[in-house]
Structure 1
Amino acid sequence: MTDLQQQVIEAHGGLERFRRFSFLTARLHQFGILWDLKGKSDTLTHAHVRVNLRKEEVSHWPFYPTQNRSRFTPDEVTIETREGELVEKLSRPRASFDGFAMETHWSDPQLAYFAGYTMWTYLTSPFILAQPGVVAEEIAPWSEQGETWRRLRTTFPATIATHSREQTFYIGPDGLIRRHDYEVEIQGNNTAARYLLEPVTVEGITLPSKFRVYPRDPDNRPTAEPLIVGVDLSDYRFE
């Protein structure tokens, strides 16, 4: 593990503390152009998420206008009623996105797959950098917002479902993640820059209370418009 990997993990609370917990839940308010483009304008606008911190499993609920909930793993996604009855199932979910573009509509299980791996990546970062098979190297720093941010170019193994194999984390002078870049493979490899805002500390772990995701231009700068995804998070709870 590089010195910068260790620094960013420690700044967010440390791996030993993080590994005391098995699950993290939160309340979400989600917005941005993505949901309309996917034909899911209101489905997860107001939702809860529960992330398994030990393995890649995530649940979102409710899938408006129903009370249904999702169960995501990299290999299978299900939509179930509140009582646990199966509504839909999607096996080998990533293959179902072959040929999809930014404007291609999603089914509920496809939405659950995207939302599942996205929130697992986001809410386990930077501790995800200690996962087996994750390789990170420090690259040239980046200046933005009056600061110089150190950068970790990270390669994820195929066993982890996430936006893209290669992603970049930008770390501020305090060791907290400021920005996170990737390409969204399942919707035509569109480029994205995610900003992590207004950090809060829960059980000694530092988490952002807001995400904002914008496109990136060829010069690696985010564009002010459109806002692809905005997420406000509250009611964090570790178990």
Structure 2
Amino acid sequence: MNTLAQKIIDAHGGLDAWKTFASLTAHLKQGGALWPLKGHGGKLDDTNVTVGLGNEWASHHPFGANGKVTLFRPDKVEIKDGTGRVLEELEMPRASFAGHTLETPWTELQLAYFAGIAMWTYFNMPFLLAAPGVASVQLPDWSENGETWQRLKVTFPKEIATHSTVQTLYVDADGLLKRHDYDVEIAGNTPGAHYISGYTTVSGIKFPTERRIFPRQPDGTSLPEPLVVSIDLSDIKLH
């Protein structure tokens, strides 16, 4: 890893501490224009998520009004009832998004896939910078709202299912995340600027509790509206 990647990991609690845990649970309150645009307004407004730390999997519960539960892995996504019975499943789910644009509606299984890759990525960042096959390189500093942030370009291997192969992290002088840019490949490569704040410390690891995602313009600046996704996190626990 380069020195900036190491600084960011250390600022969030350090890799050794992170590796002592296998999973994480949290409560989510979500909003924004994306969910109704994709045909699923309200379905994930108030839910819980469990993600693997390192191993890539995630589960949302409840998933909608009927108490359903999802299980996302890169090669398969499932929707189960409250007893664990599989109601629907989709193998190689990413292929199902071929030809999609931002406006293309999602099936419930596609929604479960998107929510899975998103929350797994967010909770495992920045410790993903130390994962096998992940490469990073420092970019020129970025000024925004009177602040100067260091930037790190991150390239993911194909084995990791995430928003896009190339992403950019922005961090403050202490190494804490301020912004996270990516292009949502499964939604027509839609560019997003994801703002990060409200840090709390859980078992020695620092986690942001407020996330706001806005459209990103070609010059890298973000638009103040629409609010694409909002995520408020509480009751974070490491296991």
- Unaligned regions of 5+ residues in structure 1, if any? none
Partner of 2:85: 85
Partner of 1:56: 56
Q: Tell me, what secondary structure is at the counterpart of 1:118?
A: helix
Q: Give, in whole Å, the separation in 2 of the partners of 1:120 and 1:136.
A: 19
Aligned residues of 2:182 and 2:191 also touching (Cα < 8 A): yes
Q: Percent identity?
A: 49
Aligned residues of 2:71 and 2:78 also touching (Cα < 8 A): yes
Partner of 2:20: 20
Q: Tell me, what secondary structure is at the counterpart of 2:102?
A: coil
Amino acid at match of 1:89: E
- Unaligned regions of 5+ residues in structure 2, if any? none
Partner of 2:73: 73
**Shift of residue 54 of structure 1?**
2.9
Q: Give, in whole Å, the separation in 1 of the partners of 2:48 and 2:108.
A: 16
Partner of 2:137: 137
Q: Tell me, what secondary structure is at the counterpart of 2:186?
A: helix
Q: Tell me, what secondary structure is at the counterpart of 2:174?
A: coil
Number of positions where the alignment pairs a residue of Structure 1 with one of Structure 2: 239
Q: Does 1:159 align with 2:159?
A: yes
Q: Give CA deviations for 1:144-201 in whole Å, capped at 9, x if unaligned.
A: 1222111100100000000000000001101101000000000101100000111111
The RMSD of aligned alpha carbons is 0.6
Q: Give, in whole Å, the separation in 2 of the partners of 1:44 and 1:216.
A: 24
Partner of 1:94: 94
Amino acid at match of 1:183: D
Q: Tell me, what secondary structure is at the counterpart of 1:193?
A: strand
Moved over 2 A (4+): none
Partner of 2:150: 150
Partner of 1:112: 112
Partner of 1:45: 45
Q: Tell me, what secondary structure is at the counterpart of 2:6?
A: helix
Q: Tell me, what secondary structure is at the counterpart of 1:16?
A: helix
Aligned residues of 2:202 and 2:237 also touching (Cα < 8 A): yes
Aligned residues of 2:54 and 2:124 also touching (Cα < 8 A): no
Q: Give, in whole Å, the separation in 2 of the partners of 1:54 and 1:153.
A: 20
Q: Give, in whole Å, the separation in 2 of the partners of 1:150 and 1:65.
A: 42
Tell me the TM-score normalised to structure 1 length.
0.99
